[in-house]
């Protein structure tokens, strides 16, 4: 009774068949799947009211149950934008830090493949490591550092499932160049206030979590070439690429990771500081889940606008 190995294909097929059985004709062939990260589920409210099918993860056979506050779990099918493009939204995801296996973290991605989805847009909330990034900026990912994967915690570990893809899939082209070009075009078209929010391209470092990074870890990740850091996305992207799904991914910078060394306690100026001054220093830039959710809410609208513009342009071509 496992999702690993050969069973994963049978299980994903079973789930895909269940999901399909719940969909009316008009929603049977979703073209694009959109994974909505922390606070980014608002896209759901922008799809057509009819036809629309919302399946709670708890009712879907084999689906992982998400346990984090602020991450509802719904698989939503509907039509989006003026061209009524059929999409599948994954609102809420399973994270590795919740205790799920990598098979479960990436299970929905495989179900998407079996539903015939060819393109996946993955969003997440992330900490900004690049000094040029501000809270609320959007980063179009062009590469990643799979820190867990490099030491063997990898969603493709185990017998290869040939039905999905090859044993040794390349990832050098994981972040689709054409989709990234479309993204920058769409962003220009939207003409958002650049003072308020900028669009970057950058590298995402995947960490296991759930604790946020220490200052030294942030500096390490920066040295390694990461621009943002987060606890999701990379497993899904690897499994999507394994199965030949085209991938586009965005991080919303919800907090700035702290890179400076902080107080070391052996300096006269520190000895002379008042308790209030010390507290202020110690709390500077400390990541917290509340801040992450708030930044998400504010920027979510622009991110949604961007995704819809990309989809709309994609449909036109």
The residues annotated with a catalytic role in the active site are: 38, 71, 95, 97-98, 125, 231-232, 255, 289
Closer to ligand HPA by Cβ: residue 51 or 70: 70
Q: Does 227 bind ligand HPA (CB under 6 A)?
A: no
Per CB under 6 A, the list member of 30, 78, 127, 136 interacting with ligand HPA is: 127
Closer to ligand HPA by Cβ: residue 23 or 252: 252
Per CB under 6 A, the list member of 212, 237, 248, 311 interacting with ligand HPA is: 212
* DSSP one-letter code for 35: E
CA distance 104 to 51: 29
Per CB under 6 A, the list member of 231, 234, 307, 310 interacting with ligand HPA is: 231
Q: Does 138 bind ligand HPA (CB under 6 A)?
A: no
Give the number of C-alpha atoms closer than 13 A to the C-alpha of residue 246, restricted to the C-beta side: 10
Q: Does 107 bind ligand HPA (CB under 6 A)?
A: no
Give the number of C-alpha atoms closer than 13 A to the C-alpha of residue 43, restricted to the C-beta side: 36
User: Contact letters (x/-) for ligand HPA, 3-42, by CB under 6 A?
Assistant: ----------------------------------------
Per CB under 6 A, the list member of 257, 259, 300, 303 interacting with ligand HPA is: 257
Closer to ligand HPA by Cβ: residue 242 or 256: 256
Per CB under 6 A, the list member of 292, 299, 307, 311 interacting with ligand HPA is: 292
CA distance 297 to 285: 19
Q: How many residues bind ligand HPA (CB under 6 A)?
A: 13
Give the total residue count for the chain.
317
Q: Minimum distance between the CB of residue 46 and ligand HPA, rounded to whole angstroms? A: 23
CA distance 131 to 257: 9
Q: Both tokens of residue 57? A: 């993860």
Give the number of C-alpha atoms closer than 13 A to the C-alpha of residue 11, restricted to the C-beta side: 21
132 alpha carbon, distance to own chain's centre: 21
Q: Minimum distance between the CB of residue 252 and ligand HPA, rounded to whole angstroms? A: 9
Closer to ligand HPA by Cβ: residue 163 or 217: 217
Residue of closest CB approach to ligand HPA:
127
3-class DSSP state for residue 27?
Answer: helix
- Of 239, 213, 284, 247, the residue nearest 114 (C-alpha): 239
Q: Does 251 bind ligand HPA (CB under 6 A)?
A: no
Strand partners, 251: 124, 139
Q: How many CB atoms lie within 10 A of CB 157?
A: 12
Q: Does 55 bind ligand HPA (CB under 6 A)?
A: no
CA distance 282 to 278: 6
Q: Beta strand 119-128 with 246-256: parallel, antiparallel or unpaired?
A: parallel
Residues that bind ligand HPA (CB under 6 A): 125-127, 212-213, 229-231, 254-255, 257, 287, 292
């Amino acid at each position: 009774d496992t999702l690993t190995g050969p069973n994963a294909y049978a299980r994903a097929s079973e789930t895909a068949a269940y999901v399909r059985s719940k969909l009316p004709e008009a929603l049977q062939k979703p073209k694009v799947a959109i994974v909505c990260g922390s606070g980014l589920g608002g896209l759901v409210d922008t799809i057509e009211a009819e036809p629309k099918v919302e399946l709670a993860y708890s009712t879907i056979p084999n689906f992982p149950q998400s346990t984090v506050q602020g991450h509802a779990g719904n698989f939503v099918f509907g039509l989006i934008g003026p061209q009524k493009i059929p999409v599948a939204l994954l609102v809420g995801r399973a994270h590795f830090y919740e205790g799920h296996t990598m098979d479960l973290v990436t299970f929905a991605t495989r179900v998407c493949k079996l539903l015939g989805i060819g393109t996946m847009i993955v969003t997440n909330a992330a900490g900004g490591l690049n000094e040029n990034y501000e809270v609320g900026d959007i980063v179009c990912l062009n590469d990643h550092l799979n820190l867990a994967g490099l030491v063997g915690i990898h969603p493709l570990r185990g017998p290869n499932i040939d039905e999905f893809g090859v044993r040794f899939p390349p990832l050098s082209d994981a972040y689709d160049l054409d989709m990234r070009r479309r993204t920058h075009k769409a962003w220009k078209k939207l003409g958002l206030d650049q003072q308020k929010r900028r669009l970057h391209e950058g590298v995402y470092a995947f960490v296991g979590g759930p604790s946020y990074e220490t200052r030294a870890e942030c500096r390490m990740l920066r040295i390694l070439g990461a621009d943002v850091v987060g606890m999701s996305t990379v497993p899904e992207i690897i499994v999507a690429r394994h199965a030949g799904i085209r991938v586009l991914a965005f991080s919303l910078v919800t907090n700035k990771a702290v890179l400076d060394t902080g107080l070391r306690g052996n300096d006269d100026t520190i000895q002379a500081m008042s308790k209030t001054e010390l507290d202020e220093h110690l709390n500077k830039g400390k990541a917290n889940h509340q801040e992450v959710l708030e930044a998400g809410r504010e920027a979510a609208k622009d991110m949604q606008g961007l995704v819809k513009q990309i989809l709309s342009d994609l449909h036109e071509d």
